[in-house]
Structures are given as C-alpha cells and as structure tokens.
Amino acid sequence: MNDDLTQGLPPRSFEERVLSELSGIRQELTTQRETMTRMDARLTSLDERLTSLEEKVDARLRETRPIWEGVLARLTGIESEMPRLGGIESELARMNRQFRSFVADIFQLRVRVEKLEEDDDQATA
C-alpha cells in the first residue's frame, strides 16, 4: 500500500492551485473588511453615546452650578458667624452659672428668713 494520500486527488494545474489560494485570501480579506466595518459602526455608536453623555453632564453642571454657588456662599456666611456664636455660647454659660448662684443664694435667704420668723414666733410666745 502506498502512503502518499495525494495520489488519490485529481491532478490540478499550478495555475488552478494559485487561483484557488488567491480566492481563499480574497474571501478572508472580505470577511476581515466586514468585521472591521461592523467594529467601526460599533465604535461610532459608542462615540455618539459618549458624546451624548458628556453633553448631558455638561448641561447638568450648568443647571446645578448656581445652586452649588449659593450653598457655598451660605456656608461661607455660616463659617464667618461661628466665632460670634461661640462668644454667645460662652456668655450663656456664664449667665447660667450666675443664675444658679442666685437661686442658691435665694434658697439660703429663704432658710434664714424662715429661721428668723421661727425665732421671732418663739420670742413672742
């Protein structure tokens, strides 16, 4: 038995084989072009979507910029008032201490007045 498998094939001329190979190469190139065309279309679609998103983001930034500028201005105003509010807080704490001291003094005076009244009642009795 002969091991040469090509002997069973019908003989083709050199030109036929070259033309067949060229035809195969053309088909592969056509397939590659189609693939590249589809990829280009997808890339174009992605580019359009990205551009659309960028435009939406820019529009939102333009819409919200005045809001954020107003918030920033208000925060700056609040920060500038913080030292004054700290002074008011310490003044309130001082006044609270004085008030408690007055209440304690009034309680002591009431005790003394009641004791004096008891002593006076006992002296008159």
Q: What is the pLDDT of residues 79-107, one digit of tens each?
A: 998 888 888 999 999 999 999 999 999 99
Using alpha carbons only, what angle is made at residue 65 by residues 62 and 66, rounded to the nearest 5 degrees? 110
Give CA 89 to chain center in angstroms. 35
The 10s digit of each residue's pLDDT in 33-79 is 999 999 999 999 999 999 999 999 999 999 999 999 999 999 999 99
Nearest one of 116, 94, 115 to 102, comparing CA atoms: 94
Average of per-residue pLDDT across 111-123: 88
Angstrom distance (rounded) from CA 108 to CA 95? 20
Element (H, E) at 95: helix 14-124
Give CA 61 to chain center in angstroms. 14
Greatest CA separation found in the chain? Answer: 155
**pTM listed for this prediction:** 0.45
CA atoms within 13 A on the CB side of 25: 6
